[in-house]
Chain A
Amino acid sequence: MIKKKIKIINKLGLHARASSKLTELANNFKCDIKIKKGSEEADAKNMMDILMLSANYNSKVDIIFSGSDEKKASNEIEKLFLNYFGEDE
């Protein structure tokens, strides 16, 4: 299991297009990927689950990867967050 704490740095937070990109990427991996914000938990492979987290700019989430390709998944998903989901800011 790999756990990463990530701060959301893109201005619009985990909004719809960002969530769509995250889901698309997460679905490329076999491992389970859960996103936790406080007591709320979402399946990273389920876009509406992610949106329900209402994770805004500057909020912190824990992402938990468990499964055979967890290392690759954690690296690529962390990169997506750090790249502002491909957005300008």
Chain B
Amino acid sequence: MVRYLLVTHGEIGQALAECAYQIFNKKIDRLECISINPKDDIDKKKYLISQTINRIDSGDGVIIFTDIIGATPCNILKEFIVENKVSVLTGVNLAMIIKALSSNNKPLESIIQESLDSALDNILKVSQDD
């Protein structure tokens, strides 16, 4: 089963994970978080990310969600990308995470595409009729 890691500025990832736990009404072991803060030692964080990927990967791959392209969390994740094994998706939102966590037993590439589609589909101008 594909595993998930949130690597974000501050506590964004933790907050999204907690919302997902509330929605699914349970703690989800397949989802872990690492915060990146301004005073962090980046080499230590890279080591933690590397250790976490190796620990959680069950062989079906890891999707890492981050918040914004070009920023430190995203930049440091690039070195962990491995084709068909470890992928990094930016612009994380709750819809993306819910979609990924609902995609049990699907292959990595399929979950990536569905998560990206879901994230984009949920960015809308809301009207009173919605």
Binding site for B on A (CB under 8 A): 16-17, 20-21, 23, 46-48, 51-52, 54
Q: Are B102 and A46 in contact (CB under 8 A)?
A: yes
Contact A48/B95 with A23-B102, A54-B130 known, Cβ cut-off 8 Å: yes
Q: Are B102 and A16 in contact (CB under 8 A)?
A: no
Interface of B is mostly: helix
Contact A48/B118 with A23-B102, A54-B130 known, Cβ cut-off 8 Å: yes
Q: Are B121 and A52 in contact (CB under 8 A)?
A: yes
- Residues in B whose Cβ lies below 8 Å from that of A54: 130
What are 15 residue pairs bridging A and B, where the CB atoms are less than 8 Å apart in the complex?
Answer: A17-B22, A17-B23, A20-B24, A20-B25, A21-B25, A23-B102, A46-B102, A47-B99, A48-B95, A48-B98, A48-B99, A48-B118, A51-B95, A51-B122, A54-B130
Chain B min CB distance to A55 (Å): 10
Closest to A23 in B: B102
Q: Are A47 and B130 in contact (CB under 8 A)?
A: no
- How many residues from B make CB contacts under 8 Å with A? 12
Q: What 10 A-B pairs have minimum CB-CB distances, sorted nearest first?
A: A54-B130, A16-B23, A48-B118, A20-B23, A48-B99, A47-B102, A20-B24, A17-B23, A48-B95, A47-B98
| Residues of B62-121 whose CB lies within 8 A of A | 95, 98-99, 102, 118, 121
- Bound form: Cα–Cα A11–B127 in Å: 19
Supplied contacts A46-B102, A47-B102, A48-B98, 11 more A-B pairs, CB within 8 Å: A16-B98, A20-B24, A20-B25, A23-B102, A47-B98, A47-B99, A48-B95, A48-B118, A48-B122, A52-B121, A54-B130
Closest to A21 in B: B25
Contact A17/B121 with A23-B102, A48-B102 known, Cβ cut-off 8 Å: no
- Residues in A whose Cβ lies below 8 Å from that of B25: 17, 20-21
- Residues in A whose Cβ lies below 8 Å from that of B23: 16-17, 20
- Residues in B whose Cβ lies below 8 Å from that of A46: 102
Closest to B115 in A: A48
